[in-house]
């Protein structure tokens, strides 16, 4: 009798048996872990999942146990881990699971520490990881809509990946004696698409791969209902307002309430202020979720470091910093401070019967390293491979089987007057030389794809050195093909553009682990882009933080291992160097610097510097004097948004065509002069969002840049958690209405917009009430 009731209470047991209400698990042995009507059930008993996220790729393997101990000590009972497909299959068909990539060992260690595991194998992950975890070689296929769709060029390799994951990690499921309780299908797909069949195909790929634990999907609160299907349990992701998140879940399913990602902090991008989480609010929310019999996963419990070249990029183009500290309770170097203490205090109040607190692990030793010089150099131009690809016009690097790195493009421009050299597209940064002299930079952040070429008295060799930083990890913009895209043209003053043909292309492909190519070292200092080499002696192996503040931009290697990227514009100024990667004795450090250091020395500090911005160290960017020009223009639409955090679609009475769109704020719900926007998407005639990959901010009336990152780019980066906020600190307040002008890169038909207000509880500042929309080709001009 009790058995029957118990069985009927199971909503989702083994992955295949969806709603057990209609499909009782007659005769089947009761699974150890199942999803009941109100609770997760572990061995038949209600179980609250108190989970924390940690990505093993972001933590030195030697420290996995230490960090897992800290997660356990914080009062969590489960660890959540993404698998990044491209980390395991950087070259098609060559799967790698060794060393840092040993996911099975990570699960074993978690189990040894008494933690359960939630696995999120993708195929798409997001996570501020290169291309959201998708392998770059998928981009060899044409098109810019096939990723995360049912197109065979995506589904076939994705299914192969899921089968491989099943082969390797299937045995680690709870149903086979391992710690894996649940497995996630895709990631926030409802934030991206609406093809329910796609979710079914991805689910089936995991089932076919041998997964037999419950499968689930996660979506931000706003998108939970959009892609919910009965075969998959839904959880909601949010960083505030748990009640709204749980309500969204209750509207689509019966079952336990779970937050799939509760944000303890946020990630940093190069050039924007360091982010911090609101600790008091987080503790309150976690308490509330647990009191409501809810479950959660903290994103992140421990962020760690995006070592190597695995960092991702926000759209349209804001690359993520190497530090993934995330302001998480367990710091980048595994330190347990005040934040950890308050989380622990809260979580220990919610231990379940039979659980007892576990002790926090000690701090790993830290050491300073006296400043050492890097005095040998290997200029990039002298160290490019001899062999060149000959091409009429450059194509994206994926088409040449180049994954990422440094790519040199040379072409001859005939003698003649000065003019403009213009590429169709440049991903990501490029330095342009004419007969060995730097004449300018190209920069995808500002869609600056052209440089002025001076007058030439003879044929001139133009060499463009291109540096790839990261593929966008969010939105359709993941179709992020790198390199210089032709046609490249030259237009003399007053003349017509002429296509430049016959290019020579040479590349240093940094590949999966950025192994250094053979380099010819010299004792002299180098000018321009170069590798630099030096060494330090260590009496012991202990953690340290390399101070990169006197360098420009590039990559660091320690004893041949790629540590990661640096960029002294900040906010991160140091690089976490884990002790186990330091040898007792001599350690070799190589730095690639694209712009040249101010001083070619490095010291190891005993604490990180994560929050120091230096915009003056950036590539030259002319000061903007752009102003909106709306006088005499009629708005294409005027309206009023609803109050609250919900995303809202607005349809214009008719589509308007133009290259720019201005949203003008008339007033806000709190009646204060500040405005905020979490996300602004534009819709086509079918109500579908326009591709944002060519968008830039043409104008923002102001941006908060001190107290928080209120940059206007936050309104178009696809993340609802951050937002554009007009300036309020430092007395900086502009007069007149708040305005945001988007430049779409090319004229488009805009039939409506999708507005996501600043998230959070009632009363947050900046939620827009009345507004006007203008569309045109020239809504802004220089003063």
Catalytic residue set: 188, 261
User: In Å, how far from its chain's centre is CA 280?
Assistant: 26
CA distance 45 to 309: 44
Length, in residues, of the chain: 783
- From the list 584, 603, 63, the residue with the least C-alpha distance to 332 is 63
Of 127 and 434, the one with the shorter C-beta distance to ligand GLA is 127
Position closest to ligand GLA via CB: 126
Of 314 and 463, the one with the shorter C-beta distance to ligand GLA is 314
Hunting for tokens 């759209």 — which residue is that?
315
Q: What is the dihedral of CA 666, 764, 222, 127, to 10 degrees?
A: 110
Of 18 and 202, the one with the shorter C-beta distance to ligand GLA is 202
Contacts of 732 (CB under 8 A, 6+ apart): 702
Of 121 and 394, the one with the shorter C-beta distance to ligand GLA is 121
Of 377 and 711, the one with the shorter C-beta distance to ligand GLA is 711
Minimum gap (Å) between residue 165 Cβ and ligand GLA: 17
Of 128 and 618, the one with the shorter C-beta distance to ligand GLA is 128
Minimum gap (Å) between residue 270 Cβ and ligand GLA: 16
Minimum gap (Å) between residue 125 Cβ and ligand GLA: 6
Q: Are 334 and 364 in contact (CB under 8 A)?
A: yes
Of 219 and 595, the one with the shorter C-beta distance to ligand GLA is 219
Minimum gap (Å) between residue 73 Cβ and ligand GLA: 24
3 state SS for 193-228: CCCHHHHHHHHHHHHHCCCCCCEEEEEEHHHCCCCC
User: In Å, how far from its chain's centre is CA 425?
Assistant: 22
Using CB under 6 A as the criterion, which residues of the chain lie in contact with ligand GLA when the complex forms?
A: 125-128, 187-188, 237, 261, 267
Of 128 and 164, the one with the shorter C-beta distance to ligand GLA is 128
Hunting for tokens 């794809």 — which residue is that?
449
DSSP 8-state assignment for residue 270: T
Element (H, E) at 299: strand 295-302
CA distance 257 to 481: 39
Minimum gap (Å) between residue 751 Cβ and ligand GLA: 28
Minimum gap (Å) between residue 300 Cβ and ligand GLA: 8
Q: Say whether the peptide bond before residue 545 is cis (omega within 30 degrees of 0).
A: no
- From the list 690, 646, 70, 686, the residue with the least C-alpha distance to 331 is 70
Q: Say whether the peptide bond before residue 316 is cis (omega within 30 degrees of 0).
A: yes
Diameter of the chain measured on Cα atoms: 96
Tokens (6 digits) for 556: 């660091």
Of 161 and 449, the one with the shorter C-beta distance to ligand GLA is 161
CA distance 628 to 713: 17
Minimum gap (Å) between residue 128 Cβ and ligand GLA: 5
Contacts of 485 (CB under 8 A, 6+ apart): 394, 395, 396, 423, 424, 425, 426, 427
CA distances for 610 relative to 275, 325, 360, 546, angstroms: 9, 9, 25, 12
CA distance 514 to 510: 4
CA distance 553 to 529: 10
Element (H, E) at 9: helix 2-9
Determine the number of helices (DSSP H) and then strands (DSSP E) in the chain: 9, 44
Minimum gap (Å) between residue 116 Cβ and ligand GLA: 20
Minimum gap (Å) between residue 767 Cβ and ligand GLA: 21
Of 236 and 507, the one with the shorter C-beta distance to ligand GLA is 236
Of 267 and 536, the one with the shorter C-beta distance to ligand GLA is 267
User: In Å, how far from its chain's centre is CA 148?
Assistant: 16
How big is the CA angle at 463 (ends 460 and 466), to the nearest 5 degrees?
165
Tokens (6 digits) for 526: 């180098």
- Concatenated DSSP letters for 543-604? BEEEE-TTS-EEEEEETTEEEEEEETTSS--EEEE-GGGSPSEEEEEEEEESS--SS-EEEE
How big is the CA angle at 313 (ends 312 and 319), to the nearest 5 degrees?
105
Of 127 and 162, the one with the shorter C-beta distance to ligand GLA is 127
Minimum gap (Å) between residue 315 Cβ and ligand GLA: 12
Minimum gap (Å) between residue 755 Cβ and ligand GLA: 19
């Amino acid at each position: 009798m009790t058995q029957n009731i118990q069985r009927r209470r199971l909503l989702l047991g083994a992955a295949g048996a969806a709603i057990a209400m209609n499909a009782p698990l007659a005769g089947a042995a009761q699974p150890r872990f199942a999803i009941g009507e109100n609770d997760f059930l572990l061995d038949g008993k209600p179980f609250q999942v108190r989970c924390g996220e940690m990505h093993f790729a972001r933590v030195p393997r030697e420290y996995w146990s230490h960090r897992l101990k800290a997660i356990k000590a914080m009062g969590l009972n489960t660890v959540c881990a993404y698998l990044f497909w491209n980390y395991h299959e950087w070259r098609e068909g060559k799967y790698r699971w060794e060393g840092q990539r040993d996911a099975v060992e990570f699960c074993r260690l978690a189990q040894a520490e008494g933690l359960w595991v939630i696995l999120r194998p993708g195929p798409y992950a997001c996570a501020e990881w290169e291309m959201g975890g998708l392998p770059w070689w998928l981009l060899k296929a044409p098109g810019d809509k096939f990723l995360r769709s049912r197109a065979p060029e995506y589904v076939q390799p994705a299914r192969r990946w899921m089968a491989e994951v099943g082969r390797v990690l299937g045995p680690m499921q709870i149903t086979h004696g391992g710690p894996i309780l649940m497995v996630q299908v895709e990631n926030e797909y409802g934030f991206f698409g609406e093809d329910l069949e796609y979710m079914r195909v991805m689910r089936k790929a995991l089932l076919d791969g041998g997964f037999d634990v419950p499968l689930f999907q996660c979506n931000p609160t706003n998108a939970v209902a959009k892609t919910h299907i009965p075969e998959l349990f839904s959880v909601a992701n949010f960083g505030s307002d748990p009640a709204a998140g749980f309500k969204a879940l209750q509207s689509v399913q019966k079952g336990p309430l779970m937050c799939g990602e509760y944000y303890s902090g946020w990630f940093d991008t190069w050039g924007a202020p360091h982010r911090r989480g609101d600790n008091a609010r987080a503790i309150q929310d976690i308490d509330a979720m647990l009191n409501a019999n809810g479950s959660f996963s903290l994103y992140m419990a421990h962020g760690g470091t995006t070592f190597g070249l695995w960092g991702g990029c926000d759209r349209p183009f804001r690359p993520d910093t190497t530090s993934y500290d995330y302001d998480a309770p367990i710091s980048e170097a595994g330190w347990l401070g005040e934040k950890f203490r308050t989380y622990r205090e809260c979580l220990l109040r919610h231990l379940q019967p039979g659980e007892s607190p576990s002790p926090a692990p000690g701090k790993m030793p830290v050491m300073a390293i006296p400043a050492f010089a890097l005095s040998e150099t290997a200029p990039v131009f002298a160290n490019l491979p001899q062999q060149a690809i000959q091409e009429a016009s450059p194509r994206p690097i994926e088409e040449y089987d180049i994954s990422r790195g440094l790519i040199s493009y040379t072409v001859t421009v005939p003698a003649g007057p000065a003019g403009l050299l213009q590429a169709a597209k440049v991903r990501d940064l490029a330095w342009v030389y004419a007969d060995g002299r730097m004449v300018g930079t190209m920069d995808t952040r500002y869609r600056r794809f052209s440089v002025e070429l001076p007058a030439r008295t003879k044929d001139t060799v133009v060499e463009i050195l291109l540096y790839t930083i990261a593929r966008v990890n969010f939105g359709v913009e993941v179709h992020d093909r790198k390199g210089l895209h032709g046609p490249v043209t030259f237009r003399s003053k007053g003349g017509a553009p002429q296509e430049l043909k016959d290019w020579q292309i040479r590349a240093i492909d940094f590949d999966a682990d950025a192994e250094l190519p053979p380099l010819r070292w010299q004792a002299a200092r180098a000018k321009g882009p170069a590798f630099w080499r030096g060494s330090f002696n260590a009496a012991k192996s202990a953690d340290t933080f390399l101070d990169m503040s006197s360098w420009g931009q590039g990559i660091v290697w320690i004893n041949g291992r790629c540590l990661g990227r640096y960029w002294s514009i900040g906010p991160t100024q140091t690089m976490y160097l884990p002790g186990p990667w330091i040898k007792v004795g001599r350690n070799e450090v190589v730095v690639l610097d694209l712009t040249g250091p101010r001083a070619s020395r490095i010291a190891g500090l005993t604490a990180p510097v994560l929050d120091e911005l230096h915009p003056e160290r950036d590539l030259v960017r002319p000061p903007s004097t752009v102003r909106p020009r709306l006088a005499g223009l009629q708005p294409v639409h005027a309206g009023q948004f609803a109050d609250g955090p919900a995303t809202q679609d607005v349809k214009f009475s008719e589509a308007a065509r133009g290259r720019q769109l201005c949203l003008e704020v008339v007033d806000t719900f709190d009646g204060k002069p500040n405005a905020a926007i979490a996300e602004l998407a534009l819709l086509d005639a079918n109500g579908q969002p326009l591709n944002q990959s060519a968008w830039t901010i043409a104008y923002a009336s102001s941006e908060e840049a001190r107290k928080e990152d209120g940059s206007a780019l936050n309104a178009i980066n696809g993340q609802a958690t951050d937002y554009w906020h007009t300036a309020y600190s430092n007395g900086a307040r502009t007069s007149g209405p708040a305005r945001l002008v988007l430049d779409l890169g090319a004229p488009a038909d805009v039939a409506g917009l999708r507005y996501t207000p600043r998230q959070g509880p009632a009363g947050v500042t900046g939620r827009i009430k009345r507004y006007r929309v203008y569309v045109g080709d020239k809504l802004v001009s220089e003063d």
